[in-house]
Amino acid sequence: MKGILGKKIGMTQVFTEDGRLMPVTVIEAGPCKVVQLKTVDNDGYVSFQIGFDKVKKEKNVPKGRLGHFKKALVQPQRYLKEVKLDGVEVKVGDNITVDIFNKGERISVTGRSKGKGFQGVMKRHNYKGGPGSHGSMFNRAPGSIGSSSYPSRVWKNKGMPGHMGSERVTTKNIEIVDIKKEQNLLLVKGSVPGANGGYIVIRKAD
């Protein structure tokens, strides 16, 4: 398993070798600092805690987390996650860069989707809605949500208006179109979850 943390920069277009125009997402991936190693003896499993995006002022870091970074002799980082790096020999303080990935490789990208606020059933669940003319007063309403005599209740998971977006979303099996190692950039085919500037986790596709 390969993993790295990054930040979504935005979308653009590139030309492929055969002249096709392809939409790509630009991701700033790393460099990430190894902050902690988790072992079977101490924690019951093997994992690596890595950090991304340095904090410029230590006064903005909670004291508990600041002590965690000082113990590792690592500059405080804004974003911390655990990833598995099988077959990669690392120690606390090492840098993990985009070199762990190759052009053409498939990855999975996890991020937090854009928040849409409180939305109705047509936007949230793709309901059809009612007629839009002839004096209809049933344009964007959900309609009947339950039965009359049996079962006389609303079934679980019935689509209703409510909060939409701002959820953890994973887009799987995305192709790496190009890697710019000097700038720590990944160009991946298509879109990835989240807004520009949002933190994401990049893993090798299962």
Tell me: do 53 and 124 sit in the same domain: no
Tell me: do 112 and 122 sit in the same domain: no
Tell me: do 110 and 183 sit in the same domain: yes
State the total domains in the chain.
2
Tell me: do 93 and 13 sit in the same domain: yes
Nearest to 192 by CA among 114, 123, 126: 114
Domain holding 25: CATH number?
2.40.30.10
For residue 177, what are its two tokens?
A: 């179109």
Tell me: do 44 and 122 sit in the same domain: no
Strand partners, 169: 111
Tell me: do 134 and 110 sit in the same domain: no
Tell me: do 137 and 70 sit in the same domain: no
Nearest to 176 by CA among 96, 90, 94, 100: 100
Please give the chain's pLDDT, 206 residues, in tens. Answer: 688 999 999 999 999 888 899 999 999 998 999 998 888 888 888 888 999 988 888 888 889 889 988 888 888 999 999 887 666 678 888 888 898 889 989 999 999 999 999 999 999 999 999 988 899 888 999 988 888 888 888 999 999 999 999 999 999 999 999 999 899 999 999 999 999 999 999 998 87
Q: What number of residues does the chain have? A: 206
Q: Which domain holds residue 130?
A: 118-164
Tell me: do 86 and 135 sit in the same domain: no
Tell me: do 14 and 110 sit in the same domain: yes
At position 183, the amino acid (one-letter code) is Q
